[in-house]
Structure 1
């Protein structure tokens, strides 16, 4: 196409915000326009066997009413709900964050994990629930290697076109899969296509997550060629930059090959490849 609230026992999002500092300025609608599992580039239905995606079922995940007769209602998040996502990670020195959206995909995610493991670096994977539910072993491999697993909704819809109840289903159901697989719910989420709205920020906050966008879009979903992806990353490299790539949603062989080339070059240039502190 692949980065909030506080039930008992969860780490406070305040600790995250304290580490990250002020939210970076930027547009709330960033044109990712990537392919999605079972969908076309702009969110339209795709032909073929993957087109019939089962809609997410209603869930009460982390939004259970206080009484049996009470309807689930959003509660004001603390700290106050953000109005825009983080677009970069400040105050981390000469560090960059690599992120991969839309997986996990057994065709490409294992190779990406292997390259990251070879160089001893950690990254962030924003997973779609419909992919994660069938590839929980890859979720566990991500976590075991120290990577951050984030929420990228269930089926990669255009969030601003959904009513709040559907946004809640998309995020809540995916968080539930991640928590059941890893024993810990995600602390970060990313809107498909970078399209956020007020409801997505509020509901994400209710589920205990911070919103993360990106600074540098590799546009790898267009399959522009391995060398072009490498050139975009190296030219855009800078402290605090968040790089957007994909490990699913289409043929990601160029994304894998590009990572193998630009990662050692970034390290040779003195960049630390890391993830936000929690």
Structure 2
């Protein structure tokens, strides 16, 4: 009944601390897929995420959703810049998540060259679709579709994530009550 919670597009100075508080309250770990541009201004927050036992991964330098259409050198530059930013916080990711789930041969080749395991998701509650998606819709989507070994996609950055934080407070205890266990990747 193990599942993974992943959070994309952070770190964010407002929402990442709120997510960390929810995760700490329930004693679970998650995977934070961080954007390099967000790391420098939030180095202490990156260190706080790591110190709490969460996994930190590479989510490109600037969330380029067109990676499959970029050159190999451009994809490697996106990965390398993010890795360099994360290294400033003492982090050396082994996992990569493509922005928007946009994979392609050039992206896989760059991951392999950098020793990064490409990881996607299996449950998308569409929390990224702000302000159209409600907290209740996020919760319903997660509770309806999550099964053992799934990876849930949520976001701690990239906009107003107050509905995501509210949804986490509702669906995490419900998933725990159903016997699921959370594991960072």
Class of the TM-score when normalised by the shorter of the 2 chains: over 0.9
- 2:73 matches 1:165: yes
Unaligned runs of 5+ in 1: 1-93
Unaligned runs of 5+ in 2: none
1:1-278 → structure 2 map (5 Å cutoff): 94-157=1-64, 158-182=66-90, 184-223=91-130, 224-276=133-185
TM-score when normalising by structure 1: 0.64
Q: In structure 2, how many angstroms separate the alpha carbons of the residues matched to 1:192 and 1:221?
A: 12
RMSD of the alignment, in Å?
Answer: 0.9
Q: Which has the larger radius of gyration?
A: 1
Q: Hey, which of these two has a bigger chunk of helix by percent?
A: 2
Which secondary structure does the structure 2 equivalent of 1:101 belong to? Answer: strand
Q: Hey, which of these two has a bigger chunk of strand by percent?
A: 2
Q: Provide, for residues 107-130 of structure 1, a one-character-per-residue CA deviation record: whole Å limited to 9, x for no partner.
A: 101000010011110000000000
TM-score when normalising by structure 2: 0.95
Residue 269 of structure 1: how far off its partner (Å) = 0.8
Runs of 4+ aligned structure 1 residues displaced above 6 Å come to: none
Q: Provide, for residues 190-246 of structure 1, a one-character-per-residue CA deviation record: whole Å limited to 9, x for no partner.
A: 001111111211111222210000000010011311111001001112100000011
Query: Could you say which residue in structure 2 is the equivalent of 1:67?
Result: none
Aligned residues: 182
Q: Is the deviation greater in 203-212 or in 98-107?
A: 203-212
Q: In structure 1, how many angstroms separate the alpha carbons of the residues matched to 2:139 and 2:152?
A: 12
